[in-house]
Structure 1
Amino acid sequence: MNPKNVKALFRSAKALFALELFPEAVDCCEHALLNDPDNQPVKDELAKIKAEFERREKIRIAKELREQKIREKKLLIEGALEKRGIRSAATPGFKPDHPHEIQLDQELDQLTVPTFFLYPEHNESDLIQAFNEQDTIGEQLAEIFYEAAPWDPEHKYQPETVQTYFETEDQGGNIGLMKVGLNVKFLTVLTHKKYVLRDGLARFIVVPKEDTQWKKDWLAKYGK
């Protein structure tokens, strides 16, 4: 047995451990123990290295599984959108300020999409976490306006007193505006040839039916 050899291997193991080269560090310890099987400091170092290596491996495997699930879900959603003929696009650098995502109920084969209902007259909005593709615009508005919003104390905003629009986008990127009726299913909007589901988020614009100067000015922005 060469004591110097064991000490050198021990120092190498500690240095490799510090560099997070765990298999190499284990190898040094095991070679040292071949020369000196009862060396307790080497045994302790080997146990520490193996424990840390195992901990890191569990973290790595868990991360890989999470990333795999994310990839699989992304492919599933992309397939569901393509199957329905829904145009989608992503804005470069866009980061949503909400945690909600498009979901697919595989058993029912139904999509739910996080959806903003915007009220430009009051600079207010509602975020619907999961708007089911089979629900109608009227059903969703009835739920939203069941009670008066704080910004609408007179409860003027109700399904039958408002007009809902969605923005259209042609191949040239020109933005337009289209009315949508209360009995129209969400899926009908999503599959409209000029509708683009951007950044995984749907948007509807809700304004009063009543003709006011504000409404005329607002429509004029869209060339209406």
Structure 2
Amino acid sequence: MASSTEQHDSDDGMDEFMDKFKTQRYKNAFSENSWEEEFNKVPMFMKTAPEEIDPQTYPELACLQAIIHDEDRPAEEQARSLKDEGNAFFKEKNYQKAILSYTTGLKKKCGDQDLNTVLLTNRAAAHFHLGNMRSALNDAAAAKKIKPDHLKALIRGVQCCIELHNFAEAVQWCDEGLKEHPNDKKLLELRAAADKHKRAAERDARKAKAKEKKLHSEKEALLAAIKDRGIKLLQPLKPRQQGSDSEDEGSSAAISQLSLDSLSSQEATGAHVFLDEQGSLHWPVLFLYPEHQQSDFISAFCENSSFIDHLAVMFGEELPPWDTDRKYNPQNLQVYFEDAKKETLYQVDPEMSLLKVLQHKRFFIKAGTPSFIVLSNGSSFRKQFLTEKKIQGL
């Protein structure tokens, strides 16, 4: 047993050491101002992995990475380390890096099929979170091919199919999975959801098909009504026809084939010809006033109505603001349609019905919208305008 004197000497030495320790700083200690940053460089305590691993900045982490990617180790061991690395990235929601790790692990081509299945399933999950549904589905299918009963692969495959609106395929995935896991709650829930979506999609498809069939019938009836009346529609020229010297707007080639293309006026006007329940056609009609560079648009001019019916409304009690000379009274107006090919104007009797004019042998409807020129009788502009054209009456 040590004497009291020896114990006293030992205590004196410790006191001296502790006094010295208090006055000197530890050379390898964290600094007071940056200890959190330095602490985060220790792999065990890192909150997030750095984008680039510099051996000088992160020596411990670089060492761990070197161990993970050591090509001298067995392929299975390398693949397992890469799976763990991918899982770490996945937990940090760094899905792109997780995919790279899982992909590198798969490239090791180890013989452990269970491990390969996990790598594929995990990569499918990473793709899923990035919105790469097709890639995720491909990985889930590859995992299922290796292990048909792998629950996570089955669930992920169903989820991808639903996101891709492949509801019938999603139901098929569920049915395959339920054979192996008949009581799995998640698969049962997904099966119910996929079936509901499938039935809704089939119902919508039936409605769309019925609507399309109805529209087609209505359009066929419309074209038949136009054809029966002898009304001529100008077809849009095909690219090879444009610029041809042999073009003739009134030729049989231009008007022989009635189609919906020749009724396309909605782009410019938002209206189109339609057949009402009584079997009458209503046309979108354009009135042009070249003297004032103005126009009027009638969205539904019934074929049985006369021009004066509309002119009396448009130029009735209130004349348009651009008519400063107050010349555009219904009784002063003259209506024409133009045969551009023959450079001829045909004067229209305002008492005529629209149908009567549309049936004229030189009237061709362009873009589904009949158009007419309106001039004021007695104006100097009218006289000058008409001298440049040939005039014919109906």
Q: TM-score range by the shorter chain?
A: 0.7 to 0.9
Give the one of 334, 347, 351 matched to 1:179.
347
Question: Which residue of 2 is the match for residue 192 of structure 1?
Answer: 360
Which one is further off, 23-32 or 116-125? 23-32
User: What is the CA deviation profile of residues 12-34 of structure 1, one whole-angstrom value per residue up to 9, with x for unaligned ones?
Assistant: 33343344322122012023223
Question: Which residue of 1 is the match for residue 386 of structure 2?
Answer: 219
Aligned counterparts of 1:50 and 1:176: Cα–Cα separation in 2: 66
Aligned counterparts of 1:78 and 1:175: Cα–Cα separation in 2: 29
Question: Which residue of 1 is the match for residue 271 of structure 2?
Answer: 100
| Total equivalences in the alignment | 217
Identity %, equivalent residues: 29
Deviation at 1:67, TM superposition (A): 2.7
Question: Which residue of 1 is the match for residue 297 of structure 2?
Answer: 127
Q: RMSD over aligned Cα, in angstroms?
A: 2.4
Q: Is the Cα–Cα contact under 8 Å of residues 135 and 186 in structure 1 kept in the other structure?
A: yes
Q: Is the Cα–Cα contact under 8 Å of residues 343 and 390 in structure 2 kept in the other structure?
A: no
Which one is further off, 137-146 or 13-22? 13-22
Q: Is the Cα–Cα contact under 8 Å of residues 148 and 154 in structure 1 kept in the other structure?
A: no
User: Is 1:209–2:377 an aligned residue pair?
Assistant: yes
Name the amino acid aligned to 1:100.
A
Aligned counterparts of 2:214 and 2:297: Cα–Cα separation in 1: 26
User: What is the CA deviation profile of residues 44-71 of structure 1, one whole-angstrom value per residue up to 9, with x for unaligned ones?
Assistant: 2112222333343344333333332332
Aligned counterparts of 2:148 and 2:176: Cα–Cα separation in 1: 13
User: Is 1:114–2:114 an aligned residue pair?
Assistant: no
Give the one of 199, 224, 227 matched to 1:79.
224
User: What is the CA deviation profile of residues 171-191 of structure 1, one whole-angstrom value per residue up to 9, with x for unaligned ones?
Assistant: xx4442100112111111010
Q: What SS does the aligned partner of 2:268 have? A: coil
Q: What SS does the aligned partner of 1:5 have? A: coil
Aligned counterparts of 1:98 and 1:69: Cα–Cα separation in 2: 24
More strand by share: 1
User: Is 1:9–2:177 an aligned residue pair?
Assistant: no
In the superposition, the TM-score normalised over structure 1's length comes to: 0.85
Change (3 A) 1:221 1:72: farther
- Runs of 4+ residues over 4 Å off in structure 1: 92-95
Name the amino acid aligned to 1:115.
V
Aligned counterparts of 1:220 and 1:61: Cα–Cα separation in 2: 60
Deviation at 1:220, TM superposition (A): 4.0
Which one is further off, 114-123 or 214-223? 214-223
Aligned counterparts of 1:28 and 1:59: Cα–Cα separation in 2: 23
Deviation at 1:211, TM superposition (A): 4.6
Change (3 A) 1:197 1:44: same
User: What is the CA deviation profile of residues 85-130 of structure 1, one whole-angstrom value per residue up to 9, with x for unaligned ones?
Assistant: 11112335966322211111232x2111110111111111111111
Question: Which residue of 2 is the match for residue 161 of structure 1?
Answer: 332
Between 1 and 2, higher relative CO (CA 8 Å, sep ≥ 6) is seen in 1
Aligned counterparts of 2:210 and 2:229: Cα–Cα separation in 1: 29
Name the amino acid aligned to 1:168.
D
Aligned counterparts of 1:151 and 1:58: Cα–Cα separation in 2: 54
Aligned counterparts of 1:211 and 1:13: Cα–Cα separation in 2: 77
Give the one of 174, 187, 209 matched to 1:29.
174
Q: Is the Cα–Cα contact under 8 Å of residues 161 and 208 in structure 1 kept in the other structure?
A: yes
The equivalences for 1:36-51 within 5 A come to 36-51=181-196
Question: Which residue of 2 is the match for residue 140 of structure 1?
Answer: 310
* Largest Rg, 1 or 2: 2
Structure 2 gaps, min length 5: 1-146, 238-260
Structure 1 gaps, min length 5: none
